[in-house]
């Protein structure tokens, strides 16, 4: 048994507990992995373990002592969390200053003082700069836990001062077993896991939200266009609620499936739709056009980082789906127009 919150984190948990037991824990640990693997939960559990006077051998906090109870209620006084505020994007310098003040003022009675910054890449430049000094010379009992999904968005100066612990996506079966334990199984679980790019916690969150219904609407609309029963205009109307990043994500996944099929390969598919339906739709599609559309989506992804481009890229994607439909291409532009001679 592991003290980690999730089964796919056992190795990373054991490694940190081992360092802690040998008094070798660094002052800053960067927990790195794709979103939806439960890294925040991992960091909080580890922080809790550090302050519990009765942790078990595997590092599990006892759950009974005053510190554990305060931790569970979110009122433990010697722990501090920094996350982006709801009303603005990113973590600001004022939040890092408050963190530094916290580390300067609190007394920890000889126990480590954990702090969590998540997601660390949300720190703006000033925030990251003001954290540097603390990372260079942390107060003796501080442990800075940083959670990060995108290393390329973290300044190298921060990265180089942290010990990195990587969390890969779990094997598919591990994820499915865990989801089954949460009451999600069969095709539903497999579909949600695919939608969440293999991240089990993200898959579970999807099950609780509106995303599956939106994804079904996306598939219905796009598959209708491919079958010649719609246009970029009908797509735009059907997908008005969908943000461009999500549209791009799902478009890429569906396109990869279509390319697999047109290249003579078969499943497993990323799109949770009956394979027979996918095969039927893929059969008449032009392979070169599929590749062209894939290139286009790569450009969209590169351009999307800038919010002003979102609307433009949205149109590119919708028109791309329309252009794929053989029915649209075969049809003359005005089939019923009869020009009367003057």
Task: Give the interface segment with Zn ion, choosing from 47-55, 93-101, 186-194, 221-229 (CB under 5 A).
Answer: 47-55
Instruction: End-to-end CA distance of the chain: give it in Å, rounded.
Output: 88
Angle CA 260–263–267, to nearest 5? 30
Asked whether the bond before 204 is cis by omega within 30 degrees of 0, the reply is no
Residue number with CB closer to Zn ion (52 or 120): 52
Distance CA 194, CA 189 (A): 9
Residue number with CB closer to Zn ion (62 or 217): 62
Q: Minimum Å distance from CB 10 to Zn ion?
A: 21
Distance CA 120, CA 145 (A): 9
Q: Minimum Å distance from CB 63 to Zn ion?
A: 6
Angle CA 23–18–160, to nearest 5? 70
Among the listed residues 10, 14, 19, 65, the single contact to Zn ion using CB under 5 A: 65
Distance CA 297, CA 301 (A): 6
287-303 and 244-262 helices, crossing angle to 10°:
150
Q: Which of residues 97-116 bind Zn ion (CB under 5 A)?
A: none
Residue number with CB closer to Zn ion (1 or 156): 1
Task: Give the interface segment with Zn ion, choosing from 54-62, 143-151, 190-198, 252-260 (CB under 5 A).
Answer: 54-62
Among the listed residues 4, 52, 190, 281, the single contact to Zn ion using CB under 5 A: 52
The answer to the question of residue 62 lying near Zn ion (CB under 5 A) is: yes
Q: How many CB atoms lie within 10 A of CB 182?
A: 13
Binding-site size, Zn ion (CB under 5 A):
5
Residue number with CB closer to Zn ion (44 or 314): 44
Query: From start to end of 158-231, where are the E strands?
Result: 163-166
Task: Give the interface segment with Zn ion, choosing from 49-57, 156-164, 190-198, 288-296 (CB under 5 A).
Answer: 49-57
Residue number with CB closer to Zn ion (111 or 301): 111
Q: Minimum Å distance from CB 167 to Zn ion?
A: 25
Q: How many CB atoms lie within 10 A of CB 213?
A: 10
Helix spans in 89-155 (H): 93-105, 125-136
The answer to the question of residue 219 lying near Zn ion (CB under 5 A) is: no
Residue number with CB closer to Zn ion (13 or 250): 13
Answer whether 42's CB lies under 8 Å from 3's CB.
no
Distance CA 76, CA 248 (A): 42
Residue number with CB closer to Zn ion (56 or 327): 56
Angle CA 33–59–151, to nearest 5? 15
Among the listed residues 17, 49, 68, 238, the single contact to Zn ion using CB under 5 A: 68
Residue number with CB closer to Zn ion (55 or 251): 55
Task: Give the interface segment with Zn ion, choosing from 45-53, 104-112, 154-162, 255-263 (CB under 5 A).
Answer: 45-53
Query: Residue 123: what are its φ and ψ, rounded to 5°?
Result: -65, 130
Task: Give the interface segment with Zn ion, choosing from 52-60, 76-84, 124-132, 171-179 (CB under 5 A).
Answer: 52-60
What is the per-residue binding string for Zn ion in 2-41, x denoting contact by CB under 5 A?
----------------------------------------
Binding site for Zn ion (CB under 5 A): 52, 61-62, 65, 68
């Amino acid at each position: 048994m592991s003290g980690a919150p999730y089964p796919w984190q056992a190795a990373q948990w054991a490694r940190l507990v081992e360092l802690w037991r040998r008094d070798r824990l660094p002052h800053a640990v960067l927990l790195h992995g794709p979103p939806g693997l439960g890294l925040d939960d991992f960091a909080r559990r580890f922080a809790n373990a550090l302050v519990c006077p009765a942790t078990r051998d595997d590092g599990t906090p006892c759950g009974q002592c005053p510190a554990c109870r305060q931790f569970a209620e979110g009122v433990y006084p010697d722990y501090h969390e920094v996350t982006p505020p709801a009303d603005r994007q990113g973590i600001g310098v004022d939040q890092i200053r408050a963190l530094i003040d916290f580390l300067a003022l609190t007394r920890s009675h000889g126990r480590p003082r954990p702090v969590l910054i998540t997601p660390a890449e949300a720190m703006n430049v000033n925030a990251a700069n003001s954290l540097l000094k603390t990372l260079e010379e942390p107060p003796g009992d501080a442990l800075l836990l940083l959670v990060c999904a995108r290393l390329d968005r973290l300044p190298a100066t921060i990265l180089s001062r942290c010990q990195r612990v990587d969390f890969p996506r779990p094997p598919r079966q591990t994820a499915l077993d865990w989801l089954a334990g949460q009451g999600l199984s069969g095709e539903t679980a497999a579909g949600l896991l695919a939608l969440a790019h293999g991240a089990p916690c993200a898959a579970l969150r999807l099950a609780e939200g509106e995303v599956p219904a939106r994804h079904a609407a996306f598939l219905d609309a796009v598959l209708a266009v491919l079958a010649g029963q719609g246009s970029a205009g009908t797509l735009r109307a059907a997908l008005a609620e969908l943000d461009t990043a999500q549209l791009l994500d799902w478009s890429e996944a569906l396109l990869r499936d279509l390319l697999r099929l047109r290249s003579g390969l078969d499943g497993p598919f990323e799109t949770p739709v009956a394979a027979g339906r996918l095969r039927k739709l893929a059969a008449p599609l032009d392979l070169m056009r599929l590749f062209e559309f894939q290139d286009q989506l790569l450009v969209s992804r590169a351009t999307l980082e800038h919010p002003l481009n979102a609307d433009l890229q949205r149109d590119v994607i919708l028109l791309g789906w329309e252009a794929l439909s053989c029915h649209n291409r075969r049809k003359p532009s005005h089939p019923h127009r009869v020009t009367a001679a003057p």
